[in-house]
Amino acid sequence: MAPVLEIKSLVKHFLFVTDGVILRKYKMLKAVDGVSFSVDKGACFGIAGESGSGKTTISRLILLLEKITSGKILYEGKDISKLARKDILWYRMRVQTIFQDAASSLNPRMRVRDIVSEPLEVQLGKTLTKKEIMERTEEMIRLVGLPTDKLANYPHELSGGQKQRVAIAKAVILHPALVILDEPVSALDVSIRAQILNLLSDIQAQQDLTYLIIAHDLAMLQHVTTDIGVMYLGKIVETGKTENVFNEPLHPYTKALFAAVPWPVPGRVKKAPSLKGEIGNPLDPPSGCRFHQRCEYAKRICREAEPLLVETRPGHSVACHKINEPLWRAS
Amino acid sequence: MTQKIILAVEGLKTYFFTRAGVVKAVDGVSFSVKEGESLGIAGESGCGKSITCLSIVRLVPQPAGRIISGKILFEGQDLLVKKEKEMRQWRGKRISMILQDPLTSLNPCYTIENQVSEPYKIEGLNNGSNNIRKKVINVLKRVRIPSPERRMRDYPFQFSGGMRQRVLAAIAIARDPRLLIADEPTTSLDVTIQDQFLRLLKDMQQQTNMGLVMITHDLGIVAETCDRVAIMYAGKIVERGTVENVFLNPAHPYTEALMEALPKMGSKRKRLFQIEGEPPNLLRLPGGCSFWPRCHKAMDICQTQSPPVISLKNGGEASCWLLC
Amino acid sequence: MSQTVKTEQDQPIGKTFSFMFVFKRYPIIPALCLLPVIICGIFGPLFYPHDPTMMNLGSALKPPAFLPGGEFSYFLGTDHMGRDLLSRLIEGARISLLISVFGVLLSGLIGCSLGMLAGYMGGKADEVIMRVVDAQMSIPAILLTILLAAALGVGVTTIIVAISVVFWTGYARVIRGETVSLKQREFVVLAKVTGCSKARILIRHIFPNLISTITVLATLQLGRAILIEASITFLGVGLQPPDTAWGLMISEGRMYMATAWWIPTFAGLAIMATVLGSNLMGDWLRDKFDPKLRQL
């Protein structure tokens, strides 16, 4: 299948003033540093990683909210940084997003009706009549499982789960091709979480959507994604089909990450010791493999050379010297 | 080996009197914690788990919130009849707390040393500060902060989230409390840091044999760190027992549904079981059992009468009409 | 057992708090200060006891009715020209209200639009607008108003323009700050992702969320505007004698302080009550709109 979204060696650096009053000193914050992956049509691609790994920056770049430093993002083969004004409006129709915090992603001064119908008004206001817009809005609000009398409510009158449903309705009302979900359920309670995840997968099947999910909750990612990329300090360290990565994680970081997730199964004894240290400073990332300071297998080559993402078996790529490099064994 | 019961809560009711009406945040909760044991209190937001803990240390937000009835027996003494001045001596020394947000729990204006030494100063240790400094370094070592001699001169903003949480843990255990209450201690931390902190907490508990009350919404954390668990729903404990029993053979339909609704590591991609509806508004609780509108096994009696607490064969307790 | 405890404690809570709640929920004191001014301002001519400009030297310098020698028909006494002070106070309220309301509205319009523009656009536009604000804020407000009033000539319109020019900076600063923080809120980011134009985002998404702040600011500015108007009139560059204004009453009456203290005093009290009322109203509105307090 043709990929909907292709990301090629994407780099995003932020300039930070670190010191100095008159002669300022700047430092580069390498939020995303050479990331490539592609998302097939109808897939659900997950990006996992801890805070500071750069996963949210990727979503902001895809949504054209930040300028790309270098690299390319191709949507259906078109480079999105070179879109003309008219095409940007079209792209905005095709790519939508849902944020973690539904409470702050809904305008507190607008009624649910106006929130959900706004994308239609902005994008298709000239071709649709008021009545058609209203009909579509009602249809959408029913689709996400809310009673239509909620249309007259303000967001603060809704519960957390209902707010997230409104956010979903607003995101899919234009029938986009790609929806970026940034921690879509992490602010919700367990019982509501299952409802929203099921709703998202129903809508995906029904509307033929492609999802890009960004989350730190690995159990959730395993449940909903078809492909997954694990990020560490601005780089993808391991990517592949979800079942491959979860059944047989290869990168030491992925292994440690999986081991650290608490399972709701009593009596499970943790074999692996917990990962030492903390995620490095992205202003001053470690040389070589960025994980080497926390890695129990680190050797000299890991400090000196940066490992490349290599496909070790079909549908499973890893960036680790231990897996890919005969030199690691030798050193 | 019989362990001493440190904390026994009996029929605790904490209500909030608001203009909109009476909110029964905690409505008849009973549980106990033994020495060296950890109890998990799990539930969704608004189920009353945090208010239960604030009631134990008598820090319920005033004047709206009030403890209406019940007993909180700490080492045999009822905390609810104590005077505020007495209570202040117990907090920190006998009972300590770790709160969710490590960023706002530390004062940004003071150094770590200053803040960690505070419990010792309260204790009245003389200000021959070398003495206190030694204790501070010691306790920072116990929470595994690397090179504490140097780091204690830093300010909170120079610490990462995980390190800040360790500093809070150091303050909490400084005076060797008998009971530690941890309210969502790892919610703001990353998984690998959470793992480090939970292990630290377990180790500290084993060293000092203190009781631990862990409040969390994450059932995974309960399974990994607790011996016993109480599941709360709308101000009541619906089920309690050992972690094995509650997780593997849940008796209450709510517990059962929660376990099903959870995406688990290691299981296949499939549709999740979903609990319909939302947690009730505490101002307008449904009659009878609070869970019946969402319960897939609800019967007629559930709608009119609240269920009694039933003792289970495996030693646990659950309150549901199905078990009668 | 628990039942009895509950019912005993449940009752008094509602009663002890109800008195406080009334003051917290309704702006009683601010309303007491402001309502008379507003009523006089709008309906004044319907209930003057006398024509406020009619001179009657025969009854000049009459003390208020409650002092010996006072007449009930001149309830607050008369001034040196024999004009009825109560009628003049009522007429003064009209002018004060007119000037302050229009001054606040005009300055609000300028200040809010520039503040939103600076906050949302950022970059050069922000720099330029905010430096102008800084520069202007370093000039004392009263001095600037006097200069403007003197340059533009006297009259009601002049004072309104002068007040707007002085006051817009206060709005611009606060509104810019609010806009900057709103700009980063997720619903604004989502509006961008949806393809909303800048104008639409400013009007539909940012402005409605500023209304509460603007209302609070405007109420607080109302008091300041009345003070400024009275001050420059007192200093002689504002309204001129045939008109009736509180500031004018004070400046005319100050010669007679020793013999007829009531001439400047009642005008001064009127100014004080109005400014106090609008400040208290502003504070009350701020508490009301504060989302943290609103949840309680």
Using CA atoms, how far residue B150 sits from B111, B137, B146, B196, C224, in Å, is 11, 10, 9, 22, 54
Q: Do A265 and B264 touch (CB under 8 A)?
A: yes
Q: Do B221 and A267 touch (CB under 8 A)?
A: no
Distance CA C160, CA C107 (A): 9
For residues A96 and C193, is the Cβ–Cβ distance under 8 A? yes
The pLDDT of residue B129: 63
Nearest to A92 among C185, C187, C195 (CB): C195
Nearest-CA distance A281 → chain B (Å): 11
What chain B residue is nearest to C12 in terms of C-alpha separation? B17
For residues C277 and C33, is the Cβ–Cβ distance under 8 A? yes
Q: Do B68 and C5 touch (CB under 8 A)?
A: yes
| pLDDT bracket for residue C21 (50, 70, 90) | low
Identify whether C179 is part of a domain: yes
Distance CA C201, CA C123 (A): 18
Identify whether C43 is part of a domain: no
Rg of chain B (C-alpha set): 21
Among candidate residues B173, B170, B202, B197, the one with its CA nearest the CA of residue B185: B197
Average pLDDT over residues C117-142: 89
What chain A residue is nearest to B259 in terms of C-alpha separation? A264
> What CATH number has the domain bearing residue C117?
1.10.3720.10
The pLDDT of residue A117: 92
Q: Do B258 and A275 touch (CB under 8 A)?
A: no
DSSP result, A126-176: TTS-HHHHHHHHHHHHHHTT--GGGGGS-GGGS-HHHHHHHHHHHHHTT--
Q: Do B19 and C13 touch (CB under 8 A)?
A: no
Determine the distance from the C-alpha atom of residue B168 to the mean position of all C-alpha atoms in its chain, rounded to a whole number: 15
Nearest-CA distance C116 → chain A (Å): 17
What chain B residue is nearest to A275 in terms of C-alpha separation? B192
Identify whether C2 is part of a domain: no
Tell me the per-residue pLDDT of A140-176, one tens digit each, with 9 for 90 and over. Answer: 999 999 998 889 888 888 888 899 999 999 999 999 9
Chain B residues within 8 A of C11 when measuring between CB atoms: none
Identify whether C6 is part of a domain: no
List residues of A whose CB lies inside 8 A of any C CB: 63, 65, 88-89, 92-93, 95-97, 99, 101, 104-110, 118-119, 122-123, 170
> Looking at this protein, which amino acid is placed at residue C139?
I
For residues A307 and A297, is the Cβ–Cβ distance under 8 A? no
The pLDDT of residue C6: 36
Nearest to A267 among B163, B244, B259 (CB): B244
The pLDDT of residue C10: 40
Question: What is the length of chain C?
Answer: 296
H/E stretch holding B72 reads strand B65-74
Using CA atoms, how far residue B237 sits from B12, B26, B41, B42, in Å, is 11, 9, 9, 9
Nearest to C209 among A88, A105, A109 (CB): A109
| Interface contact B270, partner A, CB < 8 A | yes
For the cut 70, the answer to whether the pLDDT of residue A331 exceeds it is no
Distance CA B204, CA B192 (A): 19
Average pLDDT over residues B149-155: 87
| pLDDT bracket for residue A20 (50, 70, 90) | low
Identify whether C59 is part of a domain: no
H/E stretch holding C193 reads helix C186-194
Dihedral (C-alpha) A70, A76, A77, A83: value to the nearest 10 degrees? -60
Q: Do B69 and C6 touch (CB under 8 A)?
A: yes
Q: Do B265 and A189 touch (CB under 8 A)?
A: no
For the cut 80, the answer to whether the pLDDT of residue C16 exceeds it is no
The pLDDT of residue C151: 83
3-state secondary structure of B66: strand
Indicate the average pLDDT of chain C: 80
> Looking at this protein, which amino acid is placed at residue A66?
E
Chain C residues within 8 A of B11 when measuring between CB atoms: 2
Identify whether C22 is part of a domain: no
Distance CA A134, CA B42 (A): 42
Q: Is C295 left (phi over 0), alpha (psi -120 to 50) or beta?
A: alpha
What stretches of chain B show up as alpha helix (H) in DSSP? 49-56, 84-90, 112-122, 129-142, 148-151, 161-173, 191-208, 219-225, 243-248, 253-261
What chain C residue is nearest to B22 in terms of C-alpha separation? C10
Q: Do C6 and B15 touch (CB under 8 A)?
A: yes
Average pLDDT over residues C30-41: 83
Nearest to A194 among B193, B248, B274 (CB): B274
Tell me the per-residue pLDDT of B195-222, one tens digit each, with 9 for 90 and over. Answer: 888 988 888 888 888 999 999 988 989 9
H/E stretch holding A47 reads strand A44-48
Chain B residues within 8 A of A262 when measuring between CB atoms: 194-195, 198, 218, 220-221, 223-225
The pLDDT of residue C97: 85
Distance CA A296, CA C25 (A): 63
Q: Do B70 and C2 touch (CB under 8 A)?
A: yes
DSSP result, C144-183: HHHHHHHHH-SSHHHHHHHHHHHHHHHHHHHHHHHHHHHH
Question: What is the length of chain B?
Answer: 324
Using CA atoms, how far residue C284 sits from B122, B303, C35, C225, C291, in Å, is 40, 45, 15, 19, 13
| Interface contact B153, partner A, CB < 8 A | no
Q: Do A105 and C205 touch (CB under 8 A)?
A: no
The pLDDT of residue A239: 93
For the cut 60, the answer to whether the pLDDT of residue C11 exceeds it is no
Tell me the per-residue pLDDT of B87-114, one tens digit each, with 9 for 90 and over. Answer: 888 887 888 888 877 677 888 888 888 8
Nearest-CA distance C191 → chain B (Å): 28
A158, two tokens: 């809704």
| pLDDT bracket for residue C245 (50, 70, 90) | confident
The pLDDT of residue C274: 87
Q: Are strands B38-42 and B65-74 parallel, antiparallel or unpaired?
A: unpaired
Tell me the per-residue pLDDT of A73-126, one tens digit each, with 9 for 90 and over. Answer: 999 988 998 888 889 989 998 999 998 888 888 998 889 999 999 999 888 888
Name which of C13, C24, C295 to mutate to probe chain B: the one with the most chain B Cβ atoms within 10 A of its Cβ.
C13
Most confidently modeled range among A297-306, B127-136, C175-184 = C175-184
Please name the chains neighbouring C, where neighbouring means 3+ C-beta pairs under 8 angstroms: A, B
Among candidate residues A329, A279, A291, the one with its CA nearest the CA of residue A53: A279
Can you tell me the ipTM of this complex?
0.85
| Interface contact B44, partner A, CB < 8 A | yes
For residues A58 and A34, is the Cβ–Cβ distance under 8 A? no
Q: Do A170 and C190 touch (CB under 8 A)?
A: yes
| Domain boundaries, position C177 | 76-289
Q: Do A104 and C193 touch (CB under 8 A)?
A: no
**Whole-structure pTM value:** 0.84
ω into residue B250 within 30 of 0, thus cis? Answer: no
Q: Do B18 and C2 touch (CB under 8 A)?
A: no
3-state secondary structure of C238: coil
For the cut 50, the answer to whether the pLDDT of residue C3 exceeds it is no
Token look-up 């006097």 returns C146
Neighbours of A25 (CB within 10 A): 9
Chain A residues within 8 A of B223 when measuring between CB atoms: 262-266, 268
Among candidate residues C30, C41, C34, the one with its CA nearest the CA of residue C90: C41
Q: Do C5 and B69 touch (CB under 8 A)?
A: yes
In chain C, the number of structural domains is 1
What chain A residue is nearest to B264 in terms of C-alpha separation? A219
Identify whether C12 is part of a domain: no
For residues C116 and C126, is the Cβ–Cβ distance under 8 A? no
Residues 178-197 of chain B whose Cβ lies under 8 A from any Cβ of chain A:
190-196
What chain C residue is nearest to A179 in terms of C-alpha separation? C193
The pLDDT of residue C20: 64
For the cut 60, the answer to whether the pLDDT of residue C79 exceeds it is yes
What chain B residue is nearest to C18 in terms of C-alpha separation? B19
List residues of B whose CB lies inside 8 A of any C CB: 11, 13, 15, 17-19, 22, 63-64, 66, 68-70
Distance CA A43, CA B207 (A): 49
| pLDDT bracket for residue A204 (50, 70, 90) | very high
> B97 has which bridge partners?
B181
Chain A residues within 8 A of B162 when measuring between CB atoms: 278
What chain A residue is nearest to B161 in terms of C-alpha separation? A278
The pLDDT of residue C5: 35
For residues B143 and B204, is the Cβ–Cβ distance under 8 A? yes
Q: Whole-angstrom distance between the N-terminal and C-terminal Cα of chain A?
A: 42
Average pLDDT over residues B20-24: 85
Nearest to B265 among A195, A219, A278 (CB): A219
> A17 has which bridge partners?
A26
| Torsion over CA: B48, B53, B55, B60 (sign) | negative
For residues C108 and C217, is the Cβ–Cβ distance under 8 A? yes
B74, two tokens: 């700490």
Identify whether C29 is part of a domain: no
DSSP result, A228-272: EEEEETTEEEEEEEHHHHHHS--SHHHHHHHHHSPPS-TTPPP-S
Q: What is the phi/psi pair of residue B122, to 5°? A: -60, -40
> A178 has which bridge partners?
A95, A210
What chain C residue is nearest to B11 in terms of C-alpha separation? C2
Q: Which residues of C207-226 are buried (b: 16+ CB within 10 A; e: fewer)?
A: bebbebbbbbbbbbbbbbbb
Q: Is A20 left (phi over 0), alpha (psi -120 to 50) or beta?
A: left
Please name the chains neighbouring A, where neighbouring means 3+ C-beta pairs under 8 angstroms: B, C
C57, two tokens: 């030297």
For residues B184 and B222, is the Cβ–Cβ distance under 8 A? no
Nearest to A65 among C192, C197, C205 (CB): C192
Among candidate residues A268, A291, A261, the one with its CA nearest the CA of residue A279: A291
Please give the share of chain A, as a percent, with pLDDT higher than 90: 37
Neighbours of B10 (CB within 10 A): 15
For the cut 60, the answer to whether the pLDDT of residue B299 exceeds it is yes
What chain C residue is nearest to B12 in terms of C-alpha separation? C2
What chain B residue is nearest to A254 in terms of C-alpha separation? B192
